[in-house]
Structure 1
Amino acid sequence: MARKTPQADVTHCITVIPGDGIGREVVPAAITVLDAVSAQYGFGLFWDEKNWGSGFYKRYRRMMPIDALDQIARTDAVLLGAVGDPDISDSETLWGMLIPIRRQFDQYVNLRPIRSLPGARSPWSSGADIDFVVVRENVEGEYSEVGGRSYRGTDHESAYQQAIFTRHGIGRLTHYACRLASQRRGRVTSATKSDGLIHTMTFWDEIVQEVAAQHPELQLNSAHIDALAASILTDPEQFDVIVASNLFGDILSGIAAAVVGSVGVSPSANLNPERRYPSMFEPVHGSAPDLVGRGIANPTGAIWAGSMMLEHLGHRQAAEAVVDALTAVIAAGTCTPDLGGTATTSDFTAAVVAELQDGRQSLIIAPSKRAAEFGRVCPRRFADT
Structure 2
Amino acid sequence: MPMIAILAGDGIGPEVTAEARRVLSALSLDLSFGEAPVGGAAYHATGHPLPPETIDLAERADAILFGAVGDPSCDALPRHLRPEQAILGLRKRLGLFANLRPARLFAGLEDASALKPEIAGRIDMVILRELTGDVYFGEKGMRTTAGGLREGYDVMAYAEDEVRRIVTVGFEMARHRKRKLCSVDKANVLETSQLWRDVVIETAEDYPDIALTHMYVDNAAMQLVRDPGQFDVVVTGNLFGDILSDQASMCAGSIGMLPSASLRAWSGDNGLYEPIHGSAPDIAGQGKANPCAAILSAAMLLRHSLSMDAAADRIEAAVAAAIAGGARTADLGGTLSTRGMADAVLARL
Does the TM-score normalized on the shorter chain lie above 0.5?
A: yes
Which digits, 9 at most, give the CA deviation of each residue in 1:82-110, with x for residues without a partner?
11011223954455311111111111100
Does residue 126 (structure 1) correspond to residue 117 (structure 2)? The answer is yes
Aligned to 1:239: 231
Write out aligned runs for 1:224-303 (5 A): 224-273=216-265, 278-303=270-295
Aligned to 1:22: 12
Moved more, 205-214 or 303-312: 205-214
SS in 1 for 2:73: coil
Once the two structures are TM-superposed, the CA of residue 52 in structure 1 deviates from its matched residue by 2.6
**Does the 8 A contact of 2:256 with 2:275 survive in 1?**
yes
Letter aligned with residue 206 of structure 2: Q
Does residue 75 (structure 1) correspond to residue 61 (structure 2)? The answer is yes
Aligned to 2:24: 34
Once the two structures are TM-superposed, the CA of residue 234 in structure 1 deviates from its matched residue by 1.5
SS in 1 for 2:56: helix
Identity, in percent, stands at: 35
Q: Quick one: which of 195, 205, 226 aligns to 2:197?
A: 205
CA distance in 2, matches of 1:348, 1:317: 22
Q: Quick one: which of 106, 116, 122 aligns to 1:117?
A: 106
**Does the 8 A contact of 1:106 with 1:272 survive in 2?**
yes
The count of residues paired between Structure 1 and Structure 2 equals 340
Give TM-score, length-normalised by structure 1.
0.84
**Does the 8 A contact of 1:269 with 1:279 survive in 2?**
yes
| Structure 1 pair 67–343 and aligned structure 2 pair: CA distance change class (3 A) | closer
Which digits, 9 at most, give the CA deviation of each residue in 1:112-170, with x for residues without a partner?
00011111221214251210000111111222242322239x93322222222011111
| Structure 1 pair 226–18 and aligned structure 2 pair: CA distance change class (3 A) | same
SS in 1 for 2:52: coil
Structure 2, unaligned runs of 5 or more: none
Does residue 45 (structure 1) correspond to residue 31 (structure 2)? The answer is yes
Aligned-CA RMSD value: 1.8
CA distance in 2, matches of 1:47, 1:125: 42
CA distance in 1, matches of 2:269, 2:123: 32
CA distance in 2, matches of 1:276, 1:353: 27
**Does the 8 A contact of 1:122 with 1:259 survive in 2?**
yes
Give TM-score, length-normalised by structure 2.
0.93
CA distance in 2, matches of 1:68, 1:270: 17
SS in 1 for 2:153: strand
Letter aligned with residue 114 of structure 2: P
Higher relative contact order (CA 8 A, sep 6+): 1
CA distance in 1, matches of 2:230, 2:104: 12
**Does the 8 A contact of 1:106 with 1:277 survive in 2?**
no
Aligned to 1:7: none
Write out aligned runs for 1:50-65 (5 A): 50-65=36-51
